[in-house]
């Protein structure tokens, strides 16, 4: 039986220990060396040089640095400078138990967390593991955004297996002119899917025209869709093209299609069959070359059963169905999307917000998201607008404190949380492939199966 080869230190996450007491650095280095590539600094200048040179993402910082060993001025200045160089750096502040005010000030400035002296090495390991996991998530987020932009899905963020299926279907159907029915709860991003299909199609140079059939009064909807001739009805002073005609050479997206009245369903069926329309008050057929994509959040099967939606129209619209999953079923996507939105909104309002607190991330994951991505977007925008913290809290998001949390979790709870997140992340990265995920996590397949079962993780 041969032993596994030692890990190359260069492959370990870089960690910078900043403390002017060499014996304290040695103590931490001894405990952390197996897990991290350790760098050391005893003053502000040396620390800044290392952060710039080595792209360090994890830091422990004693605020009492020369020439202000008994105060926190130098340490707080260094914290601000590090965050200016590398906004995503995770700084764990080490503080004396009489100096909580400066520790809290550091967290307000953007520190990830703080620990009191004497430092419990096992607790520090857990905090560093969490910080390193978040760093990995942020890096994945950036790669994902860049990758989806190059693939032609710049507006849809997601790497979960559920979204991978959506992306695959978009690629398969985009090249043809078949009719697509996009189904999913309100706020899941059905219009974004329709836009992605348009952008991937040969019609991408043509217009993309969207209309919400449930948002326009029935008396106006026919004119909105088909247009009207001058004098067709009271107030029709000019001839006007409708949305269908405006989508000539491009794509027409009909959202909430189940809201169409029976009379308009008949007219739309005729458009799909004959590729022509007649404006309201008109007699001359107008040829239209447009691809129709439809969406609904209603149970369309029930609507057909109850006679509210025509079966022949359903089959015309539904050559292919694309189900868009609700946010609560998208696993790691919740945090990835939230982080992306946070960066976007913080830049818009020129605010220095470095991320979400650990409690906020847990609250985001535990909340059921009945309003889906739209609700997530609204809550993050509100939090960025109203928050005066460097890290967004559950209160900023108007979410309840996550269940099962105390002032500080037990060591077992903290370990379990990190272990569960690491497994979920590995499964997401490998599309649920147990063998590949086990390789990533450096455990055997039976062990991974046991861990999945113990943590109640959905495969």
Query: Higher-confidence residue: 161 or 46?
Result: 46
pLDDT of residue 410: 57
For each of the domains in the chain, give its residue range(s) and CATH number, in order of start: 1-153 (3.40.50.2300), 161-324 (3.40.50.300), 328-392 (1.10.8.60)
Q: Is the pLDDT of residue 286 over 70?
A: yes
pLDDT of residue 48: 92
Highest mean pLDDT (candidates 59-68, 112-121, 247-256, 339-348): 247-256
Dihedrals phi, psi of 453, to nearest 5 degrees: -65, -45
pLDDT of residue 383: 94
Strand ranges, E, within 42-170: 58-62, 90-95, 113-116
Closest by CA position to 107, among listed 350, 390, 356: 390
pLDDT in tens, 400-421: 877 654 445 556 667 777 888 8
pLDDT tier at 459, thresholds 50, 70, 90: low
**Contact residues for 65 (Cβ-Cβ < 8 A; gap 6+):** 18, 20, 42, 43, 44, 74, 75, 78
CB 397 within 8 A of CB 371: no
Name the residue with tokens 């001359």: 284
Ordered DSSP codes for 161-227: HHHHHHHHHHHHHHTS---EEEE--TTS-HHHHHHHHHHHSTTTTS-EEEEETTTS-HHHHHHHHHE
- If you average pLDDT over residues 185-208, what whole number do you get? 93
Average pLDDT, the chain: 85
* Angle between the N-to-C axes of helices 411-429 and 434-441, in degrees from 0 to 180, rounded to the nearest 10: 130
Q: Is the pLDDT of residue 161 over 90?
A: no
> Sheet holding 251-255: strands in order across?
208-212, 251-255, 291-296, 180-183, 320-323
**Cα(346)–Cα(389) distance, rounded to whole angstroms?**
12
Question: Collapsing DSSP states into helix, strand and coil, what is residue 154?
Answer: coil
- If you average pLDDT over residues 88-95, what whole number do you get? 88
Window from 109-123, 135-149, 296-310, 377-391 with minimum mean pLDDT: 135-149
Instruction: Name the strand (E) or helix (H) holding 412.
Output: helix 411-429
Distances in whole angstroms, Cα of residue 353 to Cα of each of 86, 103, 324, 376: 13, 18, 31, 17
- If you average pLDDT over residues 314-323, what whole number do you get? 92
pLDDT > 90: percent of the chain: 36
Question: Collapsing DSSP states into helix, strand and coil, what is residue 85?
Answer: helix
Computed from CA positions of residues 401, 405, 408, 411, in that sequence, does the dihedral angle turn out positive or negative? negative
Q: Is the pLDDT of residue 103 over 70?
A: yes
CB 106 within 8 A of CB 93: yes
pLDDT of residue 413: 67
pLDDT of residue 258: 93
Annotate 405-416 with b (16+ C-beta within 10 A) or e (fewer).
eeeebeeeebee
**Cα(79)–Cα(107) distance, rounded to whole angstroms?**
10
Name the residue with tokens 């997601």: 158
Closest by CA position to 313, among listed 344, 268, 347, 357: 268
**Cα(308)–Cα(262) distance, rounded to whole angstroms?**
7
Window from 45-54, 163-172, 429-438, 447-456 with minimum mean pLDDT: 447-456
pLDDT of residue 405: 47
**Cα(358)–Cα(421) distance, rounded to whole angstroms?**
12
**Cα(323)–Cα(169) distance, rounded to whole angstroms?**
10
pLDDT tier at 1, thresholds 50, 70, 90: very low
Going by the DSSP 8-state scheme, the letter that residue 12 receives in this structure is S
pTM of the shown model: 0.60
pLDDT of residue 210: 94
pLDDT tier at 3, thresholds 50, 70, 90: very low
- If you average pLDDT over residues 207-217, what whole number do you get? 91
**Cα(134)–Cα(454) distance, rounded to whole angstroms?**
23
Catalogue the long-range contacts made by 26-33 (C-beta closer than 8 Å, 24 or more residues apart). Answer: 27/121, 28/60, 28/119, 28/121, 28/124, 31/121, 31/124, 31/125, 32/121, 32/124, 32/125, 32/128
Query: Higher-confidence residue: 107 or 62?
Result: 62
Query: Higher-confidence residue: 227 or 446?
Result: 227
pLDDT in tens, 214-237: 888 887 888 889 888 876 666 666
Window from 95-99, 276-280, 341-345 with minimum mean pLDDT: 95-99
Window from 125-139, 259-273, 371-385 with minimum mean pLDDT: 125-139
- If you average pLDDT over residues 242-249, what whole number do you get? 92
Window from 301-310, 367-376, 450-459 with minimum mean pLDDT: 450-459
């Amino acid at each position: 039986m041969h032993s596994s080869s030692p890990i190359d230190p260069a492959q370990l996450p870089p960690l910078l220990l900043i403390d002017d007491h060499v014996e304290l650095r040695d103590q931490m280095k001894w405990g952390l060396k197996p897990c991290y590539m350790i760098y050391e600094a005893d003053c502000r200048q040396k620390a800044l040089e290392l952060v710039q040179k080595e792209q360090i993402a994890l830091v422990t910082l004693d605020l009492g640095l020369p020439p202000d060993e008994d105060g926190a001025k130098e340490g707080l200045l260094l914290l601000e400078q590090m965050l200016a160089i590398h906004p995503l750096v995770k700084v764990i502040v080490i503080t004396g138990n009489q100096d909580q005010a400066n520790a809290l000030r550091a967290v307000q400035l953007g520190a990830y967390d703080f620990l009191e002296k004497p430092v419990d090495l096992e607790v520090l390991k857990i905090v560093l593991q969490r910080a390193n996991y978040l760093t990995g998530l942020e890096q994945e987020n950036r790669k994902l955004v860049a990758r989806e932009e190059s693939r032609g899905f710049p507006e849809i963020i997601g790497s979960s297996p559920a979204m991978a299926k959506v992306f695959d279907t978009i690629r398969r159907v985009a090249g043809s002119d078949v009719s697509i029915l996009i189904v999913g709860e309100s706020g899941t991003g059905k219009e974004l899917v329709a836009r992605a299909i348009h952008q991937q199609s040969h019609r991408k140079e043509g217009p993309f025209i969207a209309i919400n059939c449930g948002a326009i009064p029935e008396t106006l909807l026919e004119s909105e869709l088909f247009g009207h001739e001058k004098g067709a009805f009271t107030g029709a002073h000019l001839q006007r093209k409708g949305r269908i005609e405006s989508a000539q050479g491009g794509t027409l997206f009909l959202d909430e299609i189940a809201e169409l009245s029976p009379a308009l369903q008949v007219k739309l069926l005729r458009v799909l069959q004959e590729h022509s329309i007649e404006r309201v008050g008109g007699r001359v057929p107008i040829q239209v070359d447009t691809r129709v994509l439809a969406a609904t959040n209603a149970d369309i099967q029930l609507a057909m059963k109850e006679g509210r939606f025509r079966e022949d129209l359903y089959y015309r619209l539904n050559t292919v169905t694309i189900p868009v999953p609700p946010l609560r079923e998208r696993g790691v996507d919740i945090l990835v999307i939230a982080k992306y939105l946070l960066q976007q909104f913080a830049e818009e309002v020129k605010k220095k917000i470095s991320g979400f607190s650990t409690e906020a991330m847990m609250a985001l994951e535990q909340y059921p998201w009945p309003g889906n991505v739209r609700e997530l977007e609204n809550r993050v925008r509100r939090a960025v607008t109203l928050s005066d913290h460097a890290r967004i809290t559950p209160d900023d998001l108007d979410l309840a404190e996550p269940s099962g949390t105390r002032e500080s979790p037990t060591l077992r709870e903290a370990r379990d949380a990190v272990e569960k997140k690491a497994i979920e992340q590995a499964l997401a990265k490998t599309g649920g492939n147990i063998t590949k995920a086990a390789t990533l996590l450096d455990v055997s397949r039976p062990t991974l199966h046991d861990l999945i079962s113990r943590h109640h993780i959905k495969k």
